[in-house]
């Protein structure tokens, strides 16, 4: 038996928002792969839960007329990994989702929970930072859209107010078109492990493919929250790919500030961050060129 004081079970999103207002201290539970474990471990024991598992308004992945991808936060990692729109437009996110936990966890866990938790090691979150995703936070009274960067305040501390529910993850067309991406996860095991470091690189080549027109680099576990390395991004854009590949590792190591933990030392994280960024850039660049060729071939 899970040590829970009450579970509120709304039938739809409007009822969930009312319940979230009435019970602001309730913990929102979606896939349960984090919340139930923390209840088991005692960290979240004897609290109230607001069960949004299965609410249909929060599911589904679609593309609107403007070309924005709208991801329902209850989409499971497997949904994201296998979704045709995601694979066609932002394969990097499918790649990141495929690296979470193991098959059973990927069926149960949700992308919304991965983000909403506010954990730096979340595999999809660094990629969503690179894609400059926007989060829709709804309360019974209001609805606001914030950049994912502003969502993370500190370890497990987020901008989501009591009474608010994450109801959509938006990826704007301008933020993925013409780009190639790659997410690399460094962990001790190939499955069922939390990232020692995660690195997402999204790159758009210039029209003549001679140089980098736009690059975004994001890390998980390089800081208490997922981060972009914007200084490195600024210095790398405009460079040709060989020059960028040569400089990226040292630029990254100057900018990030990882910590010592039982998983890895600061020095080790600094080292692999550079190597991972270099490799991810190379793969992302190849993907961008391949995607461009495929587009032209049509």
Rule CB under 8 A: which residues touch other proteins? 1-4, 6-7, 9, 32-33, 36-37, 40-41, 51, 53-54, 101-105, 107-108, 190-192
H-helix segments, the chain: 13-22, 35-40, 77-82, 84-89, 91-97, 103-108, 111-116, 123-130, 148-151, 230-236, 241-255, 266-297
If the CB atoms of residues 101 and 238 are measured against other proteins, the closer one turns out to be 101
CB of 295 to other proteins, least distance (A): 29
What's the min distance (Å) between Cβ of 101 and other proteins?
7
CB of 78 to other proteins, least distance (A): 8
Burial 83-92 (b: 16+ CB within 10 A, else e): beebeebbbb
Question: Cβ distance 111 to 169 under 8 Å?
Answer: yes
Task: Read off φ and ψ for residue 6, nearest 5 degrees.
Answer: -160, 150
Report helix, strand or coil for 192.
coil
The nearer residue to other proteins, 36 or 159, going by C-beta atoms, is 36
Q: Which residue lies nearer to other proteins by CB, 12 or 295?
A: 12
Cβ closest to other proteins, residue 105 vs residue 211: 105
Tokens representing 238? 């405009």
Report in angstroms how near the CB of residue 35 gets to other proteins at its nearest: 9
Nearer to other proteins, 78 or 89 (CB): 78
CA 91 to chain centre: 13
Least separation in angstroms between residue 45's CB and other proteins is 11
């Amino acid at each position: 038996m899970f040590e829970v004081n009450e579970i509120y079970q709304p039938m739809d999103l409007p009822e969930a928002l009312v319940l979230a207002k009435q019970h602001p201290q309730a913990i929102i539970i979606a896939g349960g792969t984090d919340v139930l474990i923390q209840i088991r471990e005692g960290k979240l024991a004897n609290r109230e839960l607001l069960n949004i598992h299965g609410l249909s308004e929060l599911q589904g992945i679609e593309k609107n007329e403007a070309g924005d991808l709208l991801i329902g936060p209850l989409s499971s990692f497997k949904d994201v990994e296998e979704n045709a729109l995601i694979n066609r437009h932002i394969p990097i996110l499918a790649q990141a989702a495929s690296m979470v936990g193991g098959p059973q966890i990927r069926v149960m866990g949700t992308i919304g929970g991965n983000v909403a938790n506010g954990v730096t090691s979340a595999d999809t979150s660094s990629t969503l930072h690179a894609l400059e995703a926007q989060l829709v936070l709804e309360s019974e009274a209001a609805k606001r859209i914030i950049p994912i960067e502003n969502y993370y305040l500190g370890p497990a501390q987020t901008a989501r107010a009591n009474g608010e529910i994450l109801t959509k993850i938006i990826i704007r067309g301008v933020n993925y078109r013409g780009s190639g991406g790659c997410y690399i996860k460094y962990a001790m095991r190939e499955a069922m492990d939390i990232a020692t470091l995660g690195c997402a690189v999204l790159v758009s080549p210039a029209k003549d493919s001679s140089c980098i027109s736009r690059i975004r680099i994001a890390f998980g576990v390089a800081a208490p929250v997922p981060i972009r390395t914007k200084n490195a991004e600024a210095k790398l854009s405009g460079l040709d790919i060989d020059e960028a590949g040569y400089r990226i590792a040292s630029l990254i190591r100057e900018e990030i500030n990882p910590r010592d933990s039982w998983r890895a030392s600061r020095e080790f994280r600094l080292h692999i961050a550079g190597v991972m960024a270099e490799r991810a850039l190379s793969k992302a660049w190849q993907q961008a060129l391949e995607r461009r060729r495929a587009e032209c071939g049509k």
